[in-house]
Structure 1
């Protein structure tokens, strides 16, 4: 029933959900570009449309009363971005102990313009040895979903080139705020 309702709502607002099924029971999913609060309800509708049991990483300050229970029920995983907490190690352990676990991360880390992506999604996919799903909400074509799965090589330049090519035609809600697909160089 949730699937039918989500399909109806997506059609009503003129959007189409697409999903190439994951190649296995575990994955990291990169959601890009993320420039609007509208990305979240589109993601929830996508999740409901396919009955896809995907969790998503969000800043821990969102997980406060009165929204905490709802966000956890929707699959939220609180992440403390203010300090180093060993998030990658914790998530690798969760992948190892789970029979099935899919975690979606918006690597821009904000809806504002950034000159680089946070590397957590990349390091987690490599460390857990799971494929990376390429998720998006394309406001030009009004499509939301996951169309491709890749196994990262660990060669940052090659992997970033692959991501840049895939996302080159995806339009954000506010294109001026879409972050650069690059990693920060210290």
Structure 2
């Protein structure tokens, strides 16, 4: 029985699969995993230690024909660049707004029939020991699953792992996320083990 379109993740154009697959094959990478049958989700993009993560993440998403959204400072969307940034999946957020970042993104989720938001919770590539917790609070408030997306440079493998519905027990949920990422190696050769949120 076919899955109803309303239960599928947002899909990119059909040609993206072939282009992305060809690129990854050319550089010796492969993909694994299955997206959940959910029209909405927060996709963790981890580990994040290099500018190379972006093209590889986009290529992996292309193989899955997954149309991703990402957050950008609202000023990036002003002027002539605005339409292009939105076409590439960008969502403008204003950190000066009275209602915070989480509220802005949750509102966007509520207004969308389908949306997968890619978030790099490490925030920067400087090797932080704590992840930013916004991804968790967004998923919890929007009532959408957290999908563990990954790039493993050690195995030249990218894809998606488990989908976790936030329970509100941050430590228990993060223990599951930590377990999945423990042996995944970033571009810098380091494993992702030990990551945690400051609220834990």
**TM-score, scaled relative to structure 1:** 0.87
The match for 2:126 is: 112
1:73-112 matches, cutoff 5 A: 73-79=87-93, 86-112=100-126
1:23-62 matches, cutoff 5 A: 23-58=37-72
Shift of 1:39: 0.5
| 8 Å Cα contact 2:152/2:185 also seen in 1 | yes
**TM-score, scaled relative to structure 2:** 0.81
Shift of 1:95: 1.1
Q: Distance in 2 between matches of 1:72 and 1:85?
A: 22
Asked whether 1:125 is paired with 2:145, we answer no
Distance 1:66 1:15, change over 3 A: farther
Q: Distance in 2 between matches of 1:179 and 1:67?
A: 38
Give the superposed CA RMSD.
Answer: 2.6
Count of equivalent residues: 186
Q: Deviations over 1:118-141 (max 9, x none)?
A: 110000010001111000110011
The match for 1:143 is: 157
Gaps of 5+ in 2: 1-14
